[in-house]
Structure 1
């Protein structure tokens, strides 16, 4: 059987394009940008009855977790430090320390997403699917899917939280 590298490159490019689209969201659910747009500052620390987290805690958890996955995935030089679950992945306080902290978390989520996208764009098929030498079987593809899955889950929670607070309108 003939080995056609162009086809493999096309498949790899298609896979990366689909992953990038998945990161952006909006295909089957609201985007992160939709979920945080115009979120009233006075409600960012509210925990609706029946939910365990405030909007701040969800946003900061998204930031911390995505950064952790990025640092793990881009650990060629070493130095990655595994966070303690769950205490280092969730902020203890329901309220952001300041409005600037909320804005900073959102900027960092965008920035880290762009940095992870850069890893994906630079990866060939082998880099996407080969286990990291510093992990225990994880691949760049797996970590990309983990970010997309994790973010989608918590973005959904942000939408539910907004609905319960009476401040959700599809933008």
Structure 2
């Protein structure tokens, strides 16, 4: 049963299933559009991508670190800068999202992982919940990235 649940969670985290993946949403995004904040939108695509990175890292840290220190919401979760400093920062953020996601998947795949055991340092959270949280959070903001790309006329 655990093996099937982990496989289903991996599908949820890695595949688009019924929607566009994060990776498809940022693929071939023109560099000059990354920092544009459209009218009536509170953030740019860069801010969304960096927010996804920060939130996912926080969930990973919470899930594996018994000495986890809570971050300050919302200040610590959203970048102030509307655009990345350069191409290197953009690529680093994307790589970090990928690395942290795979590190989280390793937690799920660990032979001794109990998907529903509450974390001793939490208030009822468990690995299964955190996996669904990553998927849900990333999916929500991926939809926003697609919407902003449509507004900016740079969606395929």
Given the two structures, how large is their TM-score scaled by the length of structure 1? 0.88
- Kept in 1, the 8 Å contact 2:67–2:121? The answer is no
1:144 and 2:134 aligned: no
Mapped partners of 2:69, 2:14: distance in 1: 27
Residue 124 of structure 1: how far off its partner (Å) = 4.9
CA RMSD across the alignment: 1.1
Which among 34, 52, 55 is matched to residue 24 of structure 2? 34
Which aligned runs of 4 or more in structure 1 are off by greater than 6 angstroms?
A: none
Please tell me whether Structure 1 or Structure 2 has the larger radius of gyration of its CA atoms. Answer: 1
Tell me, what secondary structure is at the counterpart of 2:104? Answer: helix
Gaps of 5+ in 1: 1-10
> 1 CA distance for matches of 2:100 and 2:27?
19
Partner of 1:101: 89
1:13 deviates by 0.7
The residue matched to 2:75 in structure 1 has which SS? Answer: coil
Aligned to 2:152: 165
- Alignment coverage as a number of residue pairs: 156
Runs of 5+ unmatched residues, structure 2: none
How high is the TM-score relative to the length of structure 2?
Answer: 0.96
